[in-house]
Amino acid sequence: MRQVAIVGAAMTKFGVSEKTNLEMFAEAGLEAIARSNLEPRDMEALFFGNCLGDFEEGQLHMASFAHAELGLPVSAPATRFESACATATVATRHAALLVGAGVYDVVIAGGTERATKMGTPLATRTFAMASQAQHESSAGITFPGVFAMATHLYAHKYGIPLKDLKRHMAGVAVKNHYHGSMNPKAHFQKKIDIDMVLGGMMVADPLQLFDCCPFSDGAAAVVVANAGKAKDLIKNPIYIAGMGQASNGPLYLQKDLTRVRAREASIAQAYKEAGIGPDDLDVIELHDCFTIAEILALESFGVYDFGKAYDAATKGETALNGARVVVNPSGGLKAKGHPIGATGAAQITEIVEQLRGESGPRQVEEACIGLVDTLGGDLGTVCNIILTNRAN
Amino acid sequence: MEYKITFNHYQQGLEQGKFLGLTCNACHSVIFPPAAVCRECGSSDLTPAELSGRGTLRTFTVVRVAPEGKKPPYIVAMAELDEGPWALGNLINMNPDAADMGLIGKRVSLGRHMVKGDTYASDDTWVLTFALKDA
């Protein structure tokens, strides 16, 4: 495999948008191409992410239209990826694999989503389509419900009183909204406090409103290039050091939801390829779709032992300038927002900017190695990408 | 390679109050609901089996913001069945507002209820239920 680099990355503001899925994607994509000192005609393929365009806009087969919107050559194939919330990370990984294999030299990957268009009842229904239809979504399980069940399991398994666990989970929300307050692209840019989290509407016991990420609109895109060419294009390519992806089935086969087996398998692949371990990470953008999800992820990575990450945020260990490792400096899905088809490419964009020292007030000092972590569905897909600003 | 028990066959079992699964002849795991291969070892050498319908509640949530077409609040739970598999279903014989951590570890008996199809999943489906044994 050849070494592969990200040469350009960009995202739209996340939030509520009046723009179409294609317009948002073209804005992010054209900016990512421009930042790479390239033109649309230079793209050899499009790896396009979108989950629910059919429900949002009555649009299937969006990849071909996104290709046209960007002005890509007819010879460049456009392929749609759908891996629920991990969609854009999975798309980018496959882009990088084909560039690494020498099939292409320069491609564009990313995704777009216009989730707010659906309204909460339909959005909740369509998101639940990412649970197994015959045995699980038929019982009315929702995404907050999945992570709520994981929370109850976690409290019971580790003997932590639910009230204490919820206060520490609230600390995750407070931290990520604090980070989001420094991100002009974030859906929510206001700080919150623990009382606001614990006073919120109950969504799925024990998860309250501020334990949950929002439905968001937005797009993000990255240009992926063979590292040999990348250095000719820009002065500061960000290199892919390692990648992983793994799959697991329905909840009833996963059993203990506190252990995200797909993530444990995915991160092991990524660490092995990168030749690093959890202590080497300087900055992490992880999948905090719900507050408990950040805790579970940090344990899967080995940054904390199992049962030990629950108070990391309240102890200040994962905030900007924190003692351990900075987690979700962008504000995470919690505050930056979660347009599901775009999320992974936005996480990559944040890590690329952090490793280039371009993150302004939320810059992680001397960040050299960053981890992208995106979870799809009810813990059934995880994709990880480790990035570095140092060439091999 | 044919399924020993299809989803339709499994549904017919539920309608009659039977919990149809499979036993793996290679590793002796019990597979529920039925599948093409054993999740534990990958073998397709499977024999139909009927489960006892008893288990222990492992986790739950009360859904208060529901998908389009569902009326909250309702309880979704997971139970570990006595034969080993876990199952997801609705806990039915209790007030959702009374659900708390004390449920975890309680003995439950399996049942089923009919969930009507909607615009997107058009089949009516028998879905598992759990009921507390001491209620």
In chain A, the percentage of residues whose pLDDT exceeds 90 is: 99
Q: How far apart are CA A223 and CA A40, in angstroms?
A: 10
What's the distance, CA A47 to chain centroid? 16
pLDDT of A139 reads: 97
A125 inside domain: no
- Structure confidence by residue, pLDDT tens digits, A241-266: 999 999 999 999 999 999 999 999 99
List residues of chain A with CB under 8 Å from any CB of chain B: 120-122, 124-126, 128-129, 133-142, 144-145, 148-150, 152-153, 155-156, 162, 201-207, 249-253, 255, 257
Q: Are residues A62 and A150 in the same domain?
A: no
CB contact under 8 Å between A205 and B99, yes or no, is: yes
Q: Are residues A223 and A179 in the same domain?
A: no
Task: Write the Ramachandran bin of A139: left for phi over 0, alpha for psi from -120 to 50, otherwise beta.
Answer: alpha
pLDDT of B12 reads: 98
Cα-flanking dihedrals φ and ψ of residue A230, to 5°? Answer: -55, -40
- Closest CB from A124, A150, A253 relative to B39: A253
* Arithmetic mean of pLDDT, A343-366: 98
* Arithmetic mean of pLDDT, A4-32: 98
B23 to chain A nearest CA, in Å? 15
Q: Are residues A145 and A281 in the same domain?
A: yes
How many other β-carbons are positioned within 10 Å of the β-carbon of residue A286? 26
Q: Are residues A287 and A373 in the same domain?
A: yes
Q: Are residues A320 and A226 in the same domain?
A: no
- Structure confidence by residue, pLDDT tens digits, A119-128: 999 999 999 9
CATH number of the domain that residue A326 is part of: 3.40.47.10
Query: Does residue B49 contact residue B23 with C-beta atoms inside 8 Å?
Result: yes
CB of B1 less than 8 A from some CB of A: no
- Structure confidence by residue, pLDDT tens digits, B82-99: 999 999 999 999 999 999
Domain that includes residue A30, residue range: 4-119+215-238
B83 to chain A nearest CA, in Å? 14
Please spell the DSSP secondary structure of chain B, one letter per residue. ---SS-HHHHHHHHHTT--EEEEETTT--EESS--SS-TTT----EEEEE---EEEEEEEEEE-S--TT--S-EEEEEEEETTS-EEEEEE-SS-GGG--GGGTT-EEEEEEEEE---SSS-S-EEEEEEEETT-
pLDDT of A184 reads: 98
Closest listed residue to residue A352, CA positions, set A337, A367, A334, A332: A367
Query: Does residue A344 contact residue A204 with C-beta atoms inside 8 Å?
Result: no
To which H or E segment does residue A371 belong?
strand A369-376
Q: How far apart are CA B120 and CA B118, in angstroms?
A: 5
pTM summary value: 0.98
To which H or E segment does residue A319 belong?
none
Query: Does residue A313 contact residue A294 with C-beta atoms inside 8 Å?
Result: yes
Determine the 3-state secondary structure of A386 from DSSP.
Answer: strand
Who wins on pLDDT, B122 or B15? B15
Q: Are residues A61 and A108 in the same domain?
A: yes
- Structure confidence by residue, pLDDT tens digits, A104-117: 999 999 999 999 99
Task: Read off the tokens for A185.
Answer: 């692209």
Tell me what the pLDDT averaged over chain B comes to. Answer: 96
Which band of pLDDT confidence, cut at 50, 70 and 90, is reported for residue A168?
very high
Task: Read off the tokens for A192.
Answer: 């919150």
Q: Are residues A325 and A306 in the same domain?
A: yes
Q: Are residues A165 and A300 in the same domain?
A: yes
Query: Does residue A179 contact residue A360 with C-beta atoms inside 8 Å?
Result: no
B53 to chain A nearest CA, in Å? 15
What's the distance, CA A133 to chain centroid? 24
What residue segments make up the domains of chain B, in order of their start?
7-50, 54-132
Tell me what the pLDDT averaged over chain A comes to. Answer: 97
Q: Are residues A165 and A309 in the same domain?
A: yes
CB of B41 less than 8 A from some CB of A: no
**Is the bond leading into B73 cis (omega within 30 degrees of zero)?**
yes
pLDDT at B60 over 90: yes
Closest listed residue to residue A181, CA positions, set A192, A170, A197: A192
Q: Which residues of A95-112 are buried (b: 16+ CB within 10 A; e: fewer)?
A: bbbbbbeeebebbbbbbb
Q: Are residues A165 and A280 in the same domain?
A: yes
Domain closes at, from A223, A238, A253: A238
Q: How far apart are CA B13 and CA A364, in angstroms?
A: 58
Which band of pLDDT confidence, cut at 50, 70 and 90, is reported for residue B135?
low
Which residues face A15 on adjacent strands? A217
pLDDT of A18 reads: 97
Residue A338 among the catalytic residues: yes
pLDDT of A41 reads: 98
pLDDT of B1 reads: 84
Q: Are residues A351 and A362 in the same domain?
A: yes
Q: How far apart are CA A138 and CA A168, in angstroms?
A: 32
**Is the bond leading into B33 cis (omega within 30 degrees of zero)?**
yes
> In Å, how far are A381, B52, B57 from B111, measured between CA atoms?
31, 11, 14
- Structure confidence by residue, pLDDT tens digits, A23-75: 999 999 999 999 999 999 999 999 999 999 999 999 999 999 999 999 999 99
pLDDT at A191 over 80: yes
How many other β-carbons are positioned within 10 Å of the β-carbon of residue A20? 19
Q: Are residues A63 and A79 in the same domain?
A: yes
The one-letter code for the residue type at A33 is: I
Interface probe with A: pick from B31, B62, B64, most Cβ of A within 10 Å = B64
A136 inside domain: no
A126 inside domain: no
Report how many domains make up chain A. 2
Cα-flanking dihedrals φ and ψ of residue B121, to 5°? Answer: -115, 90
A134 inside domain: no
CB contact under 8 Å between B59 and A251, yes or no, is: no
Which residues face B114 on adjacent strands? B126
Q: How far apart are CA A370 and CA A356, in angstroms?
A: 11
ipTM of the assembly? 0.98
Q: How far apart are CA A352 and CA A145, in angstroms?
A: 33
